Structure 1
Protein backbone atom coordinates (compact mmCIF):
# COMPACT_ATOMS: atom_id res chain seq x y z
CA UNK A 1 0.00 0.00 0.00
CA UNK A 2 1.03 3.55 -0.67
CA UNK A 3 0.90 6.09 2.17
CA UNK A 4 -0.90 9.38 1.60
CA UNK A 5 0.60 12.63 2.82
CA UNK A 6 -1.98 15.40 3.13
CA UNK A 7 -0.52 18.91 3.13
CA UNK A 8 -2.86 20.97 5.32
CA UNK A 9 -0.71 23.27 7.47
CA UNK A 10 -1.13 26.49 5.51
CA UNK A 11 -2.52 29.51 7.32
CA UNK A 12 -4.86 30.40 4.45
CA UNK A 13 -3.91 34.07 4.36
CA UNK A 14 -5.99 34.83 1.26
CA UNK A 15 -8.89 32.73 2.59
CA UNK A 16 -8.91 34.47 5.97
CA UNK A 17 -8.02 31.37 7.98
CA UNK A 18 -6.82 27.77 7.67
CA UNK A 19 -8.34 26.15 4.57
CA UNK A 20 -8.19 22.79 6.34
CA UNK A 21 -11.06 23.92 8.57
CA UNK A 22 -13.38 25.22 5.82
CA UNK A 23 -16.61 23.27 5.57
CA UNK A 24 -17.80 21.99 2.22
CA UNK A 25 -20.89 19.81 2.01
CA UNK A 26 -20.88 19.09 5.74
CA UNK A 27 -17.21 18.21 6.23
CA UNK A 28 -14.00 20.18 6.56
CA UNK A 29 -11.61 20.16 3.64
CA UNK A 30 -9.21 18.14 5.80
CA UNK A 31 -11.88 15.56 6.66
CA UNK A 32 -12.84 15.34 2.99
CA UNK A 33 -9.26 14.75 1.85
CA UNK A 34 -8.70 12.13 4.55
CA UNK A 35 -11.88 10.35 3.44
CA UNK A 36 -10.77 10.36 -0.20
CA UNK A 37 -7.28 9.03 0.61
CA UNK A 38 -8.73 6.22 2.71
CA UNK A 39 -11.36 5.39 0.05
CA UNK A 40 -8.59 5.17 -2.56
CA UNK A 41 -6.85 2.56 -0.41
CA UNK A 42 -3.92 4.58 0.88
CA UNK A 43 -2.34 3.47 4.13
CA UNK A 44 -1.25 5.03 6.32
CA UNK A 45 -2.75 8.48 5.90
CA UNK A 46 -0.67 11.26 7.41
CA UNK A 47 -2.06 14.79 7.73
CA UNK A 48 0.42 17.62 8.26
CA UNK A 49 -1.49 20.44 9.93
CA UNK A 50 -0.87 23.80 11.55
CA UNK A 51 -1.44 24.78 15.15
CA UNK A 52 -5.21 24.36 15.37
CA UNK A 53 -7.74 21.74 16.37
CA UNK A 54 -8.38 19.34 13.50
CA UNK A 55 -11.74 18.09 14.66
CA UNK A 56 -12.75 14.44 14.54
CA UNK A 57 -10.64 12.63 11.99
CA UNK A 58 -10.64 8.93 11.24
CA UNK A 59 -8.74 7.32 14.15
CA UNK A 60 -6.29 5.66 11.75
CA UNK A 61 -4.98 9.04 10.55
CA UNK A 62 -1.66 10.18 11.93
CA UNK A 63 -1.71 13.94 12.56
CA UNK A 64 1.62 15.79 12.45
CA UNK A 65 1.73 19.38 13.73
CA UNK A 66 4.07 21.46 11.63
CA UNK A 67 5.65 24.04 13.93
CA UNK A 68 7.50 25.47 10.91
CA UNK A 69 4.38 25.98 8.76
CA UNK A 70 5.12 29.69 8.32
CA UNK A 71 8.11 28.71 6.16
CA UNK A 72 5.76 27.38 3.51
CA UNK A 73 4.84 24.14 1.79
CA UNK A 74 8.35 22.68 1.83
CA UNK A 75 8.27 22.42 5.63
CA UNK A 76 5.07 20.36 5.48
CA UNK A 77 6.52 18.05 2.86
CA UNK A 78 9.63 17.55 5.00
CA UNK A 79 7.58 16.89 8.15
CA UNK A 80 5.39 14.37 6.35
CA UNK A 81 8.22 12.50 4.64
CA UNK A 82 10.09 12.31 7.96
CA UNK A 83 6.95 10.78 9.55
CA UNK A 84 6.56 7.98 7.00
CA UNK A 85 6.65 4.58 8.66
CA UNK A 86 9.31 2.04 7.80
CA UNK A 87 10.44 1.47 4.27
CA UNK A 88 7.66 3.11 2.24
CA UNK A 89 8.13 2.43 -1.48
CA UNK A 90 6.42 5.69 -2.49
CA UNK A 91 4.13 8.43 -1.19
CA UNK A 92 1.04 10.14 -2.55
CA UNK A 93 1.15 13.91 -1.95
CA UNK A 94 -2.22 15.67 -1.69
CA UNK A 95 -3.42 19.17 -1.01
CA UNK A 96 -6.77 19.93 0.62
CA UNK A 97 -7.82 22.78 -1.66
CA UNK A 98 -8.54 20.93 -4.93
CA UNK A 99 -12.32 20.36 -4.96
CA UNK A 100 -12.30 18.25 -8.14
CA UNK A 101 -10.09 15.56 -6.59
CA UNK A 102 -12.05 12.42 -5.81
CA UNK A 103 -11.28 8.83 -4.80
CA UNK A 104 -11.65 7.64 -8.40
CA UNK A 105 -8.88 10.02 -9.54
CA UNK A 106 -6.62 8.87 -6.69
CA UNK A 107 -7.22 5.20 -7.54
CA UNK A 108 -6.37 5.90 -11.19
CA UNK A 109 -3.16 7.60 -10.06
CA UNK A 110 -2.28 4.60 -7.88
CA UNK A 111 -2.93 2.21 -10.80
CA UNK A 112 -0.76 4.34 -13.09
CA UNK A 113 2.00 4.24 -10.49
CA UNK A 114 1.76 0.44 -10.26
CA UNK A 115 1.91 0.18 -14.07
CA UNK A 116 5.25 2.04 -14.00
CA UNK A 117 6.67 -0.48 -11.53
CA UNK A 118 6.95 2.36 -9.03
CA UNK A 119 10.20 3.59 -10.56
CA UNK A 120 9.16 7.06 -11.71
CA UNK A 121 6.81 9.70 -10.38
CA UNK A 122 3.24 9.94 -11.61
CA UNK A 123 1.33 13.18 -11.32
CA UNK A 124 -1.84 14.89 -12.38
CA UNK A 125 -1.51 16.92 -15.59
CA UNK A 126 -3.42 20.21 -15.70
CA UNK A 127 -2.91 23.80 -16.77
CA UNK A 128 -0.11 22.79 -19.14
CA UNK A 129 2.01 21.36 -16.33
CA UNK A 130 2.22 18.62 -13.72
CA UNK A 131 1.18 18.86 -10.09
CA UNK A 132 -0.37 17.21 -7.09
CA UNK A 133 -1.94 14.85 -6.45
CA UNK A 134 1.28 13.06 -7.34
CA UNK A 135 3.11 9.90 -6.32
CA UNK A 136 6.83 10.05 -5.62
CA UNK A 137 8.97 6.90 -5.43
CA UNK A 138 11.18 6.46 -2.36
CA UNK A 139 14.35 7.25 -4.32
CA UNK A 140 13.14 10.88 -4.39
CA UNK A 141 12.52 11.14 -0.62
CA UNK A 142 15.97 12.71 0.01
CA UNK A 143 15.10 15.49 -2.45
CA UNK A 144 11.71 16.01 -0.84
CA UNK A 145 13.45 16.26 2.54
CA UNK A 146 15.80 18.91 1.11
CA UNK A 147 13.04 21.28 -0.10
CA UNK A 148 13.03 24.72 1.52
CA UNK A 149 10.77 27.76 1.57
CA UNK A 150 7.38 28.15 -0.01
CA UNK A 151 7.97 25.74 -2.84
CA UNK A 152 6.45 22.39 -3.47
CA UNK A 153 7.75 19.40 -5.36
CA UNK A 154 6.83 20.59 -8.87
CA UNK A 155 10.47 21.14 -9.91
CA UNK A 156 11.15 17.47 -9.16
CA UNK A 157 8.14 16.39 -11.22
CA UNK A 158 9.23 18.54 -14.15
CA UNK A 159 12.81 17.27 -14.05
CA UNK A 160 11.93 13.59 -13.85
CA UNK A 161 10.33 11.49 -16.59
CA UNK A 162 7.05 11.90 -14.74
CA UNK A 163 4.02 10.18 -16.23
CA UNK A 164 1.04 12.51 -16.31
CA UNK A 165 -2.59 11.61 -15.71
CA UNK A 166 -4.88 14.11 -17.46
CA UNK A 167 -6.88 16.04 -14.88
CA UNK A 168 -8.22 19.23 -16.53
CA UNK A 169 -10.20 20.21 -13.42
CA UNK A 170 -6.97 20.30 -11.42
CA UNK A 171 -6.67 24.00 -12.19
CA UNK A 172 -9.61 24.71 -9.87
CA UNK A 173 -8.54 25.31 -6.31
CA UNK A 174 -9.81 27.12 -3.26
CA UNK A 175 -7.61 30.09 -2.41
CA UNK A 176 -10.07 32.90 -1.68
CA UNK A 177 -13.55 33.28 -0.20
CA UNK A 178 -14.76 33.99 -3.74
CA UNK A 179 -13.44 30.60 -4.90
CA UNK A 180 -15.39 28.89 -2.14
CA UNK A 181 -18.54 30.93 -2.85
CA UNK A 182 -18.45 30.08 -6.56
CA UNK A 183 -18.09 26.39 -5.75
CA UNK A 184 -21.05 26.32 -3.37
CA UNK A 185 -23.41 28.15 -5.73
Structure 2
Protein backbone atom coordinates (compact mmCIF):
# COMPACT_ATOMS: atom_id res chain seq x y z
CA UNK A 1 0.00 0.00 0.00
CA UNK A 2 1.43 3.34 -1.02
CA UNK A 3 1.77 6.24 1.38
CA UNK A 4 -1.07 8.09 -0.35
CA UNK A 5 -3.53 5.21 -0.15
CA UNK A 6 -6.43 5.20 2.28
CA UNK A 7 -6.62 2.13 4.49
CA UNK A 8 -9.85 0.17 4.05
CA UNK A 9 -10.87 -1.26 7.42
CA UNK A 10 -13.47 -4.03 7.49
CA UNK A 11 -13.64 -5.20 11.10
CA UNK A 12 -17.22 -5.97 12.15
CA UNK A 13 -19.33 -3.16 13.57
CA UNK A 14 -22.26 -3.66 15.94
CA UNK A 15 -25.36 -1.54 16.24
CA UNK A 16 -26.58 -0.30 19.62
CA UNK A 17 -30.15 0.98 19.87
CA UNK A 18 -31.10 2.86 23.03
CA UNK A 19 -34.78 2.19 23.80
CA UNK A 20 -35.05 2.04 27.59
CA UNK A 21 -36.93 5.23 28.47
CA UNK A 22 -40.46 5.50 29.83
CA UNK A 23 -41.47 8.33 27.50
CA UNK A 24 -42.83 10.39 30.37
CA UNK A 25 -43.85 13.34 28.18
CA UNK A 26 -45.46 11.03 25.65
CA UNK A 27 -47.22 8.98 28.31
CA UNK A 28 -45.86 5.56 27.26
CA UNK A 29 -42.51 3.94 26.42
CA UNK A 30 -41.39 5.18 23.01
CA UNK A 31 -40.02 1.76 22.07
CA UNK A 32 -43.57 0.41 21.82
CA UNK A 33 -45.06 3.30 19.84
CA UNK A 34 -46.07 2.26 16.34
CA UNK A 35 -45.56 4.29 13.18
CA UNK A 36 -47.04 2.76 10.07
CA UNK A 37 -47.70 -0.50 11.90
CA UNK A 38 -44.07 -0.83 13.01
CA UNK A 39 -42.86 -0.24 16.57
CA UNK A 40 -40.12 2.33 16.94
CA UNK A 41 -37.85 -0.29 18.51
CA UNK A 42 -38.28 -2.56 15.48
CA UNK A 43 -37.78 0.34 13.08
CA UNK A 44 -34.54 1.24 14.85
CA UNK A 45 -33.26 -2.32 14.68
CA UNK A 46 -34.12 -2.53 10.99
CA UNK A 47 -32.37 0.77 10.28
CA UNK A 48 -29.14 -0.44 11.88
CA UNK A 49 -29.36 -3.84 10.19
CA UNK A 50 -30.10 -2.44 6.74
CA UNK A 51 -27.37 0.12 7.28
CA UNK A 52 -24.81 -2.68 7.58
CA UNK A 53 -24.37 -3.45 11.29
CA UNK A 54 -23.58 -7.14 11.65
CA UNK A 55 -25.33 -7.49 15.01
CA UNK A 56 -27.75 -5.19 16.81
CA UNK A 57 -28.17 -4.86 20.56
CA UNK A 58 -31.20 -3.09 22.02
CA UNK A 59 -31.08 -1.58 25.50
CA UNK A 60 -34.50 -1.93 27.15
CA UNK A 61 -35.80 -0.77 30.50
CA UNK A 62 -39.27 0.69 31.01
CA UNK A 63 -40.62 -1.63 28.32
CA UNK A 64 -39.08 -5.08 28.69
CA UNK A 65 -40.39 -6.44 25.40
CA UNK A 66 -39.46 -8.97 22.77
CA UNK A 67 -37.31 -7.74 19.89
CA UNK A 68 -36.65 -9.55 16.66
CA UNK A 69 -33.33 -9.75 14.82
CA UNK A 70 -31.53 -8.23 17.82
CA UNK A 71 -30.09 -9.04 21.24
CA UNK A 72 -31.96 -7.46 24.16
CA UNK A 73 -29.93 -5.86 26.96
CA UNK A 74 -31.91 -4.98 30.08
CA UNK A 75 -30.81 -1.84 31.89
CA UNK A 76 -32.08 -2.03 35.50
CA UNK A 77 -31.00 1.59 36.03
CA UNK A 78 -32.92 2.98 33.04
CA UNK A 79 -34.79 5.49 35.21
CA UNK A 80 -31.52 7.36 35.93
CA UNK A 81 -31.33 8.47 32.31
CA UNK A 82 -29.71 7.82 28.95
CA UNK A 83 -26.19 7.60 30.36
CA UNK A 84 -26.87 4.32 32.14
CA UNK A 85 -28.22 2.82 28.91
CA UNK A 86 -25.07 3.84 27.04
CA UNK A 87 -22.96 2.17 29.71
CA UNK A 88 -25.10 -0.99 29.77
CA UNK A 89 -25.03 -1.24 26.00
CA UNK A 90 -21.28 -0.77 25.66
CA UNK A 91 -20.67 -3.37 28.36
CA UNK A 92 -22.78 -5.90 26.42
CA UNK A 93 -21.11 -5.60 23.00
CA UNK A 94 -19.37 -8.92 22.16
CA UNK A 95 -15.59 -8.97 22.02
CA UNK A 96 -15.40 -9.61 18.27
CA UNK A 97 -16.70 -6.15 17.40
CA UNK A 98 -14.22 -3.40 16.62
CA UNK A 99 -16.70 -0.53 16.78
CA UNK A 100 -20.33 0.27 17.56
CA UNK A 101 -22.90 2.60 16.03
CA UNK A 102 -25.19 4.08 18.67
CA UNK A 103 -28.70 5.18 17.67
CA UNK A 104 -31.86 6.25 19.49
CA UNK A 105 -35.23 4.56 19.09
CA UNK A 106 -37.14 7.85 19.13
CA UNK A 107 -35.54 9.22 15.94
CA UNK A 108 -37.50 7.45 13.18
CA UNK A 109 -36.22 9.73 10.42
CA UNK A 110 -32.68 8.38 10.82
CA UNK A 111 -32.19 6.11 7.82
CA UNK A 112 -30.03 3.14 6.82
CA UNK A 113 -28.20 5.53 4.49
CA UNK A 114 -26.98 7.56 7.47
CA UNK A 115 -25.71 4.36 9.11
CA UNK A 116 -24.00 3.38 5.87
CA UNK A 117 -22.17 6.70 5.75
CA UNK A 118 -20.81 6.18 9.25
CA UNK A 119 -19.70 2.67 8.29
CA UNK A 120 -17.96 4.02 5.21
CA UNK A 121 -16.13 6.59 7.34
CA UNK A 122 -15.03 3.73 9.60
CA UNK A 123 -13.81 1.69 6.63
CA UNK A 124 -11.77 4.69 5.56
CA UNK A 125 -10.09 4.85 8.97
CA UNK A 126 -12.36 6.91 11.26
CA UNK A 127 -12.27 5.66 14.85
CA UNK A 128 -15.01 8.02 16.01
CA UNK A 129 -17.62 9.61 13.77
CA UNK A 130 -20.88 11.46 14.20
CA UNK A 131 -23.77 12.22 11.88
CA UNK A 132 -24.19 15.95 11.34
CA UNK A 133 -27.17 17.92 10.15
CA UNK A 134 -26.58 21.48 8.95
CA UNK A 135 -23.27 21.34 10.81
CA UNK A 136 -24.74 20.17 14.12
CA UNK A 137 -23.65 16.88 15.71
CA UNK A 138 -26.53 14.55 16.48
CA UNK A 139 -27.14 10.81 16.05
CA UNK A 140 -26.15 8.17 15.15
CA UNK A 141 -22.58 8.02 16.47
CA UNK A 142 -19.80 5.57 15.64
CA UNK A 143 -17.30 4.70 18.38
CA UNK A 144 -14.19 2.58 17.99
CA UNK A 145 -13.52 0.11 20.80
CA UNK A 146 -10.56 2.08 22.15
CA UNK A 147 -12.94 4.95 23.00
CA UNK A 148 -15.56 2.91 24.85
CA UNK A 149 -14.00 3.28 28.28
CA UNK A 150 -13.89 7.08 27.94
CA UNK A 151 -17.50 7.22 26.73
CA UNK A 152 -18.50 4.90 29.57
CA UNK A 153 -16.83 7.16 32.15
CA UNK A 154 -18.39 10.34 30.76
CA UNK A 155 -21.95 9.12 30.21
CA UNK A 156 -24.17 10.17 33.11
CA UNK A 157 -27.75 11.13 33.97
CA UNK A 158 -29.48 11.88 30.64
CA UNK A 159 -26.24 12.44 28.72
CA UNK A 160 -24.69 9.82 26.45
CA UNK A 161 -21.73 10.25 24.09
CA UNK A 162 -21.91 14.06 23.87
CA UNK A 163 -19.23 14.79 26.52
CA UNK A 164 -16.81 12.47 24.72
CA UNK A 165 -17.51 14.05 21.34
CA UNK A 166 -16.78 17.49 22.80
CA UNK A 167 -13.71 16.52 24.82
CA UNK A 168 -12.13 14.60 21.94
CA UNK A 169 -13.42 16.63 19.02
CA UNK A 170 -10.03 16.36 17.33
CA UNK A 171 -10.57 12.61 16.99
CA UNK A 172 -14.14 12.80 15.67
CA UNK A 173 -14.98 12.68 11.97
CA UNK A 174 -18.15 14.61 11.06
CA UNK A 175 -20.35 12.83 8.52
CA UNK A 176 -22.93 14.97 6.75
CA UNK A 177 -26.34 13.30 6.61
CA UNK A 178 -28.64 16.24 5.84
CA UNK A 179 -29.72 14.82 2.51
CA UNK A 180 -30.57 11.31 3.71
CA UNK A 181 -31.87 11.61 7.28
CA UNK A 182 -33.14 13.85 10.07
CA UNK A 183 -32.42 13.76 13.82
CA UNK A 184 -35.90 14.95 14.81
CA UNK A 185 -37.09 13.00 17.83
CA UNK A 186 -40.39 12.11 19.45
CA UNK A 187 -41.04 13.59 22.88
CA UNK A 188 -44.74 14.45 22.72
CA UNK A 189 -47.93 13.34 21.00
CA UNK A 190 -47.58 16.33 18.69
CA UNK A 191 -44.06 15.22 17.70
CA UNK A 192 -45.38 11.74 16.99
CA UNK A 193 -48.20 13.00 14.78
CA UNK A 194 -45.87 15.33 12.88
CA UNK A 195 -43.17 12.75 12.22
CA UNK A 196 -45.70 10.10 11.31
CA UNK A 197 -47.06 12.57 8.77
CA UNK A 198 -43.58 13.11 7.33
CA UNK A 199 -43.24 9.34 7.00
CA UNK A 200 -46.62 9.21 5.32
CA UNK A 201 -48.00 6.70 7.77
CA UNK A 202 -50.42 6.60 10.71
CA UNK A 203 -49.22 6.35 14.31
CA UNK A 204 -50.57 4.35 17.25
**Structure 2, gaps ≥5 residues long:** 1-11, 198-204
Pick the aligned partner of 2:175 from 151, 165, 170.
165
Deviations 1:111-142 (A, max 9, x none): 01211x24x31101126431220101111111
How far residue 178 of structure 1 moved from its aligned partner, in angstroms, is 0.2
Instruction: Name the residue aligned to 1:68.
Output: 77
Structure 1 CA distance, aligned partners of 2:23 and 2:158?
A: 13
What's the offset of the Cα at 1:170?
Answer: 3.1
How far apart, in 2, do the equivalents of 1:183 and 1:82 lie? 32
2-structure distance, mates of 1:171, 1:76: 19
- CA distance in 2: counterparts of 1:155 and 1:131, whole angstroms: 12
For normalisation by structure 2, the TM-score amounts to 0.83
Match of 2:196 in 1: 184
Q: Give 5+ residue unaligned stretches, structure 1.
A: none
The CA RMSD over aligned residues, in Å, is 1.6
- Are the equivalent residues in 2 in contact too, given 1:130–1:158 (CA < 8 A)? no
TM-score, with structure 1 as normaliser: 0.90
Larger radius of gyration, structure 1 or 2? 2
Deviating above 2 A after TM superposition, structure 1's stretches of 4 or more consecutive aligned residues are 51-56, 126-129, 158-161, 167-171
- Supply the distance in 1 between the matched residues of 2:134 and 2:166 (Cα, whole angstroms): 13
CA distance in 2, matches of 1:65, 1:122: 26
Counterpart CA distance in 2 for 1:141 and 1:55 is 27
Distance 2:98 2:144 in 1: 6
| 2:24 is equivalent to residue 2 of structure 1 | no
Cα pair 2:14 2:101 within 8 Å, conserved? yes
Contact 1:124/1:170, CA 8 A, preserved across alignment: no
- My pick for the range that moved more, 41-50 or 125-134, is 125-134
* Aligned counterparts, 1:25-174, within 5 A: 25-58=36-69, 61-115=70-124, 117-118=125-126, 120-126=127-133, 128-146=135-153, 147-160=155-168, 161=170, 162-168=172-178, 170-174=182-186
Q: State how far apart, in whole Å, the 2-side matches of 1:101 and 1:170 are.
A: 6
